[in-house]
Chain A
Amino acid sequence: MPTNVPANVPASPEPLLSVRQLSRRFGGLTAVDAIDLQVAPGELVSVIGPNGAGKTTLFNLISGLDAADAGQVQFAGRDVTDAGAETVAALGLARTFQHGRVFANLSVLDNVLVGAHSRLRAVRPRAPALLSALAELALALWRPATVRHEEATLRDDALAIVAMFGDRLTPRLEHPAHSLSYANRRRVEIARALALKPQLLLLDEPTAGMNESETTEMLAIIRTLKERGQTILLIEHKLELVMQLSDRVLVMDNGRRIAEGRPESVRNDPAVIEAYLGHSGVGRTNVGAPVALAA
């Protein structure tokens, strides 16, 4: 509402992502229940909450892989509520997946190169679908200089991205992704998402299954991305990492937003503590409750 902004304060930048009253129901279960969320350019916002809180469903709705029952999603100034994942990706949104979805039979390098797909122009001329598809086929067979040049540029980009992960991936460029360790597959996914040069990066539990030193390494990488100005929406269970990185934290439980704010304020919010520790009053001073019986 620009009308409400006092004239002497610079207008806050238009949010890159704006989610309003977003809901998704599966049968009787409301997995995402009227969630509001805004992410400004350059921000790192974390979504936390117990298992089954609806975080991944929220990601699926934002990235266009699932369709909302109610509410709205705006991204990069466009209403993408009903847009498919392909469209959202083309607008500059990249994501990783909770359980890892690398292209198993493609090499590490090819995985990263596929990530850049929506940025390609020379191989995929803009035209109505059928013409564009036929032109894409013809250009792949003909391979004019523009296509070869784009491929070479892309390759350099991909190598630079892979280099961010130190020597974790570089020696394995030509290895098929299925032969990698679990942690390395997560890294490939992040590299693949970065190849899209996303305006907004959605990371779904990037450190799942990683040990302590690997987690520290991942934290450094995410911090580097943030310092470069990358806007990030992060789902993470390791609260230490969340507290260190986030500008803001959204806490979900049973599909609903139960708290939102700066990390330190969220951390001490009683509703959050209850959600994490359980609903039966554990951790509360519960006068008259059968706590004493435990003794």
Chain B
Amino acid sequence: MNSFVDHTVNGLIVGNIYALLAVGLALIFGVSNLINFAHGSVYTVGAFIGWYAITRLQAPLWLTILLVIAGCALLGMAIERIGLRPLAGKARIAPLLATIGISFVLDQVVQLIVGPDPRALPGPLPNWRLQLGGGTIGALDLLIAGIGVVSAAVLYGFLRFTRLGWAVRATAQDRDAAQQMGVNIHAVNQSVFAIASALGGLSGLLVGMYYNNISPAMSFQATLKGVVAVVIGGVGNVPGAIAGSLLLGLTESYGVALFGTPYRNLFAFLLLIAILVWRPNGLFGGTKKLPPEPLTGTFIAPSRPIRLPTWAWAALVGVLIVLPLVVHAPYLLQTLTNAWLYALLALSLTLVAGTVGQISLGHAGLLAIGAYASALLALDGHLPVPLAIVLAGLVTAGLGTLLVYPAFRLRGHYVSIATLSIGEIVALAILNWESLTHGPIGIAGIPPVQFSNRLIDAGPGFYWLTLAAVVALALLQNRLLGTHLGRSFRAVRDDDVAARAHGLSPNRYKALAFGFGGFAVGIAGALTAHLYSYINHETFTSQISILALTIVILGGMGNVAGAVIGAVALIGLPELFRITAEYRMLIYGAALLLLVRFRPQGLLGTH
């Protein structure tokens, strides 16, 4: 019983912290229809401002809180200015991608300033605990609860009784009407970003004090938790976001009590998928109506693809084939091999996100499925490695399509959120399903690729193997796009309602795209596993998913050649210039941001 009270208190406190995050996300979605993926980064910045104030400035708590609020509010205004305002009128997914770029940049900047290691955030609070029923409540718990209640009250007062608050609510209800009545939309957006970010930063400070631990790597999880809470409550619904946060906090707390800590996040994401599938408008939202107008959820900038003549491609491939014979440059080969592996991933994503318009943020999960499938088939199933690789491709195609299938009924932002969480679920399943995947230990001693007696390990052999896979799959994908099937893919992307009215079943074509694309990713994952000889649940992080999307946008969405060229540019160039890892992530984030803003059609144009 004691522990039940403790778990309830813990759940409510954690839920309260999530609420500070989620309210901001809900406010931002309300006025600008944007799921702000940089929100978790603001939270991290808030935590580090707090750390600086407490440990370096020796500031009292009230001053620390004020500094966090001021600093994060300014940051939020900057995010609105850079990530949202210039993208007005673009595809609705554009600002979402821009905020992903901003979050990469912010996280890396924080990491460059303070270093990647976690550090303690000692709260300047007395260390007493209050006996309550069977459990205890500490001073910090009361502070968190107090800040939660005060923030909610201030927010309510602002929205209800101030002119700006009225403008915010008017904008949330009907943006165009509000604008015509003289509401300054930019001012509304900016103030909402300021408020949301101040709350987000405060949340970061409180979490840091609660766990006495902060690190630059905590942004992504924070964004995800906030998004989960918001989706549970109904996107854009502020009271719903608070209720969703408390529900999420309690679910996690009880889940951890029953099954152990590793399952904490698994519960959060399974809850998210269940809500998206059964109640996409959230627990407190109404039922959905038929969308009256074509949706512009796809991120396809109208453009004409640039086409190179066939002989030019043939010549290029010829040069790449003889490259290892004429130059002795192991480092160059290794870099290009890595680029080819990413090219396979990008081929898949450009089909799924570009040609069929499903912006997947979970492709790293498919990569992991392919890697584990091949490694286990070769190690535990004793299959020859080439056979294991091909089977891994098929397993990824089937399993990946099956996993994403529930998300096919979703549109726009929701597809991205769902695929993102499916990617996380795959990683968590790998971590927890120890009897199959060896859990956190990972799989070691994965055999290298071998054809009969010929060993193909790193070096020219593996370079040719990956190059062959890229060329073969690119040619097949190109062939596919030239048929009626390719036309059907693009019709589903451009307008799924009109497509249905002409007899196309969108789910069938989304499934075919994920299936065909899944095969390519599975092969990429499998090759990676046999190249590295060791994989674990952290080999394929969600950063890889985002990087793959950046590659695809750089090359031009849906553009087969663009995917390969994008991979060479983003993987190969930083490697050749020997840019260190932290700066590389910074470059990727900045590249995504700049592309979305200035060249959404990419280098070679969309198809």
Contacts and interface: CB of A to CB of B under 8 A. Distances in A.
Interface of A: 26, 60, 63-66, 84-86, 89-90, 94-95, 97, 99, 101-106, 110, 113-115, 117-118, 120, 123, 129, 133, 136-137, 140-141, 143, 147, 151, 154, 176, 178-179, 192-193, 196
B502 A114 contact: yes
Nearest to B511: A133
Interface stretch (B323-331, B489-497, B580-588): B489-497
Given A105-B300, A137-B515, A65 B484 contact: no
Nearest to B516: A137
A56 B263 CA distance: 49
Nearest to A124: B484
A179 B606 CA distance: 15
Contacts of B503: 86, 89-90, 117-118, 196
Given A60-B290, A110-B487, A103 B498 contact: yes
Contact of B490 (A60, A106, A120): A106
Given A101-B495, A104-B302, A178-B302, A114 B501 contact: no
27 contacts: A85-B497, A90-B503, A95-B501, A99-B294, A102-B495, A103-B494, A103-B499, A104-B494, A105-B493, A105-B494, A106-B487, A110-B490, A114-B499, A117-B488, A117-B491, A117-B504, A123-B484, A123-B485, A129-B508, A137-B516, A140-B486, A143-B479, A151-B484, A176-B302, A192-B502, A193-B502, A196-B503
B382 interface: no
Interface of B: 289-290, 293-294, 300, 302, 476, 479-480, 483-488, 490-491, 493-495, 497-505, 508, 511-512, 515-516, 606
B285 to A, nearest CB: 14
Contacts of A86: 500, 503-505
A178 B494 CA distance: 11
Given A86-B503, A103-B499, A136-B485, 9 more contacts: A65-B497, A90-B503, A97-B497, A101-B495, A114-B488, A114-B504, A133-B512, A141-B480, A196-B503
A129 B405 CA distance: 14
Contact of A106 (B293, B494, B504, B508): B494
Nearest to A86: B505
Contact of A114 (B289, B294, B491, B515): B491
B502 A123 contact: no
Given A86-B505, A129-B508, A102 B498 contact: yes
Given A85-B500, A117-B503, A105 B289 contact: no
A140 B480 contact: yes
Contacts of A64: 500
Contacts of B499: 103, 114
Contacts, number: 113
A62 to B, nearest CB: 11
A140 to B, nearest CB: 4
Contact of A120 (B302, B484, B495): B484
Contacts of B485: 123, 136-137, 140
Contacts of A95: 501
Nearest to A202: B501
A176 B303 CA distance: 9
Contacts of B505: 84, 86
Q: Which of B490, B493, B499, B502 has the most CB of A within 10 A?
A: B502
B427 to A, nearest CB: 28
Most buried by A among B300, B484, B487: B484
B490 A140 contact: no
B498 A140 contact: no
